[in-house]
Structure 1
Amino acid sequence: MERNELEKVSDFALGEENVAFASYFIGKSYLSLLNDKEVGIFNVTFEPGCRNNWHIHHGCGQILICVGGHGWYQEAGKEAQLLKSGDVVYIAPEIKHWHGAVSDEAFAHLLLSIPKEGASNEWCEPITDEEYSKLK
């Protein structure tokens, strides 16, 4: 998908290609830092079909605010949820999960997290094409 099309997914800045975390994603994502005072706020934009690996946030939770397109969110052992603009997802610490775009549409969410000493991310296995293709 062309950059100028991705910039239309939400009203927030697209940012740069998310190369620092690219090894934990299938497909391209873009990251824009919106705020780093007290609460980290990032706009994350996923190209169609892009998703991150299963992962766990140790020591702090995360909030996703969907701002454009359609995407998926899934916690381990639960069905995937279809997300649309306006949806809010709270992810408690220690919950294994993944999120990303639907196969045929870009998706953007704001990611909010409060930095805590000792907090970390544990990146796990990818969502296979076979698993992803079964989502409806």
Structure 2
Amino acid sequence: MQKLPRAATTKNPPEMFTGDVWLDPIAAPQDGDQRMTVALVRFAPGARTAWHSHARGQTLHVTSGVALFGSRGGSVIEAHPGETVYCPPGEEHWHGAAPDAFMEHLAMLEGADDLAATTTWLEHVTDADYAASRSAG
């Protein structure tokens, strides 16, 4: 057993996010047998990820604010503190904050055998698609 050092908060890159998003790593693979990654992610109002998918899926647990989760095909889930959303392996999705409030969630996923293939990043969610998600959600 060991106490791990606290990792610094980082601001997520604009290639993968729209708006301001900060990440606090909680757990990351420490050796060849561990695959779990957990991060606390904070989204400014209206901020969101680009479209992406995960080789082994992703679990997202909302801790504050109002979260929006969109999947290809147009379905949108609105989630509140204490609620959890699961995105299955390979499902293209995005997640972010409602336009009028900050949102925070825990992001949990398992790394792929080839760690570079764990997350596949795609194009940005357009402002029009984000706005339409609010009327659909």
TM interval, shorter chain, is 0.7 to 0.9
Distance in 1, matches of 2:83 and 2:51, equals: 20
Choose 35-44 or 72-81, whichever is displaced more: 35-44
Q: 1:79 maps to which residue?
A: 75
Alignment of 1:115-134 (within 5 A): 115-118=111-114, 119-134=117-132
Distance in 2, matches of 1:102 and 1:88, equals: 16
Do the aligned partners of 1:18 and 1:29 also contact (CA within 8 Å) in 2?
yes
The structure with the larger Rg is 2
Read off the aligned partner of 2:25 and give its amino acid letter. L
Q: 2:19 maps to which residue?
A: 27
Distance in 1, matches of 2:111 and 2:126, equals: 30
The TM-score with structure 2 as length reference comes to 0.80
**1:79 deviation in Å?**
1.9
May I ask how many residue pairs the two structures share in their alignment? 121
State, as a whole percentage, how many aligned pairs show the same letter.
28
Cα deviation, 1:7-49, whole Å, max 9, x if unaligned, reads xxxxxx9x62424x33111101000011225321100000001
Read off the aligned partner of 2:52 and give its amino acid letter. H
The CA RMSD over aligned residues, in Å, is 1.8
Cα deviation, 1:74-126, whole Å, max 9, x if unaligned, reads 11114211111111111111100000000010101001112231243221111
Distance in 2, matches of 1:35 and 1:122, equals: 20
Alignment of 1:4-19 (within 5 A): 16-19=9-12
Q: 2:44 matched to 1:47?
A: yes
Gaps of 5+ in 2: 1-5
Q: 2:28 matched to 1:36?
A: yes
Distance in 2, matches of 1:65 and 1:31, equals: 14
Read off the aligned partner of 2:127 and give its amino acid letter. D
Q: 2:100 maps to which residue?
A: 104
Do the aligned partners of 1:17 and 1:28 also contact (CA within 8 Å) in 2?
no
Q: 2:57 matched to 1:61?
A: yes
Read off the aligned partner of 2:11 and give its amino acid letter. N
Tell me which of 49, 72, 94 is aligned to 2:90: 94
